[in-house]
Structure 1
């Protein structure tokens, strides 16, 4: 690499460690996040001149089951066709056979995920939380009314992202999304236990599991606590969830309207409203008069 001098470009100062096959996207070495099978790196779109997130899945995790890999590829292809302002945009995807990775390029959200953003800004009005909730539900409404229906299955505050300068919220990390046909329940157990609806454990569920998870997200927004953080094992969470026991954080919600709305979201599957129903709920309907600025 040439020595750094005043005329040296930014790219020379911080070289890409990888470039996509088209030559458009470059990946830097620093991680934005990491999960069980996926790492997310900071990247750059050289054509549009903007930051991007470079998602990389190690395919050796799926080498024993070609059907899983096939499904993963078809889901990424589907996600690339989605177009909604509250869903993270997927720009490109490809398989790197040499390094045995699946790579996909998504938009980057300047302020990171909603969990970290909420912790950073401890005083958030109820009006702001309602605004975030409406945007999440609009994203879910789009997924659930898509043909075929798309279930996220792993919605939580760490994979909801925000551009804080404009208050725009977007659902991301649809890696566990299940594409299901109309009138067909999904049958795979995946997700984050604290946010999983009880019927997910029975492996017989539909898109309303995302509404349950959304209710738990709202609980976290209101209390800055991950639901069921009092439990020290997945087995304990499972016991509480399947018995219908509320997480302790629920008792810390002082606003009765917020409490009632969360209860609607995490109720029994048959009674659980759709995203479209919740957007019409009086709790979320926007009114001209100023809403309360008190925290939930």
Structure 2
């Protein structure tokens, strides 16, 4: 019998819409988020007594594109193998042949993603920005030094999640992650244009594309503005990025140390530091 929340006076107040094959996880009807490929619902882990996220992919949408399903299965297998406090945990996954869905249960972060969280809290200190940055870089360093190297490829503030009560940040949505053998460059164009490094457009890149995206995330955290929001089309963003024109939001960064730290991250690929290098940067230390 599904567990009831303490304030529910009767069993049907908030029934589960769906339960996983093991009977451990129950899904509610309310959405936590919607992506290009999946919907994320609020769910409950009855065994551990905690909130979780139920990610669901409608496979019929991709019946003509088996590569998407392959990529998702690769994401899930990859997530299952990752163990790091700065990466979202995957608890369980299965394919539901009756409903033709692929489901996976991941850790839920109490405060959602960093973009929404930052909008809610307009006054954030430099100390907090540095704290979020350090944690994101710890997660990236784990992915980049993993064997084989893992490139996220779609890092932005909507897939960095936060437990606001303790200020803990975790990277999620590794759906576009490419497992890249060392010494090989990845070759496929995916991601969110505003956050994509110029070399991603050339489709010849390394894990340093994630550092560029991280720089754009930090810019968004600092200014509450999505980079290149002055552009009204992907073509215009592409033109600016490939020409080396920085987003206008950079003019809103008044702190010179923060500005030069962001500039390091979004510089030319060869000059761009690794996550490990950035973690040693004096900017991230208190003081």
Q: Structure 1 length as normaliser, TM-score? A: 0.92
Partner Cα separation in structure 2 for residue 7 and residue 93 of structure 1: 30
Shift of residue 8, structure 1, vs aligned partner: 6.9
1:243 and 2:243 correspond: yes
| Counterparts of residues 222-233 of structure 1 (less than 5 Å) | 222-233=222-233
Partner Cα separation in structure 1 for residue 244 and residue 121 of structure 2: 31
Residues 175-227 of structure 1, C-alpha deviations (whole Å, 9 max, x = no match): 11111111111111111110000111111111111000000000001100000
Kept in 1: contact 2:71–2:175 (CA 8 A):
no
| Counterparts of residues 206-217 of structure 1 (less than 5 Å) | 206-217=206-217
Task: Extract unaligned runs of 5+ from structure 1.
Answer: 1-5, 292-296
Partner Cα separation in structure 1 for residue 98 and residue 107 of structure 2: 25
Partner Cα separation in structure 2 for residue 220 and residue 8 of structure 1: 40
Shift of residue 172, structure 1, vs aligned partner: 0.7
Partner Cα separation in structure 2 for residue 164 and residue 71 of structure 1: 31
Q: What count of residue pairs does the alignment treat as equivalent?
A: 282
Partner Cα separation in structure 2 for residue 155 and residue 190 of structure 1: 11
Shift of residue 250, structure 1, vs aligned partner: 0.4
> In the alignment, which residue of structure 2 is the partner of 1:59?
59
> In the alignment, which residue of structure 2 is the partner of 1:3?
none
Q: Secondary structure at the match of 2:56?
A: strand
Kept in 1: contact 2:196–2:209 (CA 8 A):
yes
Partner Cα separation in structure 1 for residue 10 and residue 156 of structure 2: 36
Q: Secondary structure at the match of 2:157?
A: coil
> In the alignment, which residue of structure 2 is the partner of 1:39?
39
> In the alignment, which residue of structure 1 is the partner of 2:3?
none
Kept in 1: contact 2:153–2:209 (CA 8 A):
yes
Partner Cα separation in structure 1 for residue 151 and residue 28 of structure 2: 31
Residues 46-88 of structure 1, C-alpha deviations (whole Å, 9 max, x = no match): 0000000001112233322334422321221111111111111
Q: Secondary structure at the match of 2:283?
A: coil
Shift of residue 20, structure 1, vs aligned partner: 0.8
Shift of residue 235, structure 1, vs aligned partner: 0.6
Shift of residue 96, structure 1, vs aligned partner: 1.3
* Structure 1 residues 12 and 247, CA gap change in structure 2 (3 angstroms): same
Q: Secondary structure at the match of 2:212?
A: helix
Task: Extract unaligned runs of 5+ from structure 2.
Answer: 1-5
Partner Cα separation in structure 2 for residue 38 and residue 144 of structure 1: 25
Kept in 2: contact 1:75–1:179 (CA 8 A):
no
Partner Cα separation in structure 2 for residue 10 and residue 277 of structure 1: 55
1:121 and 2:101 correspond: no
Q: Structure 2 length as normaliser, TM-score? A: 0.95
Q: Secondary structure at the match of 1:86?
A: coil
Partner Cα separation in structure 1 for residue 241 and residue 60 of structure 2: 33
Shift of residue 36, structure 1, vs aligned partner: 1.3
* Structure 1 residues 10 and 245, CA gap change in structure 2 (3 angstroms): farther
Question: Stretches of 4+ moved more than 4 A in 1?
Answer: 6-11
> In the alignment, which residue of structure 2 is the partner of 1:135?
135
